[in-house]
Amino acid sequence: MLYKVKAKIDKLKMKAFFTALTDGSIADQEPDGSYIVNAMQKAVKTDGNTLEWYQECHCKTPLKHERETVYDEYLYDIETTLVDEIKDDIKGESFWDCLETWHFDESTLDFDFD
């Protein structure tokens, strides 16, 4: 099943999230680690602290395993909406680009999401 996902960023954990996404600790997680990394590479920061993306999941409870193992550690207020197809309807800034900036630019330790 395909879901459109919306979540809030826990900004104090973004450097740790990027490290986990890029050091293999999430990617090596079975069965869905590579899907989580891929979803975050495609996620869009739509406003100050909101992310949106599309993700497939076949759990009875949407993103159950993903939330238990990764998402609930770094994100909150996660909402899922069942959809039929991926649309080009999410506008904003690449979340991955934001993560790279926050991770490598020490001046962003006190970054503003707006």
Q: What is the pLDDT of residues 46-58, one digit of tens each?
A: 988 999 999 999 8
- The pLDDT value given to residue 89: 95
pLDDT of residue 59: 85
> SS3 for 67?
helix
Q: Which residue has the higher pLDDT, 111 or 9?
A: 9
Q: To the nearest 10°, report the CA torsion of 88, 90, 92, 97.
A: -80
Who contacts 95 (Cβ-Cβ below 8 Å, separation ≥6)? 40, 43, 44, 45, 51, 53
* Domains annotated on the chain, with CATH: 2-84+93-106 (3.30.70)
CA distance 61 to 91: 27
Q: Please check the confidence at residue 107 and state whether its pLDDT lies above 70.
A: no
If one compares 112 and 55, the residue with the highest pLDDT of the two is 55
Per-residue model confidence (pLDDT) at position 105: 62
The predicted model gives 85-98 an average pLDDT of 94
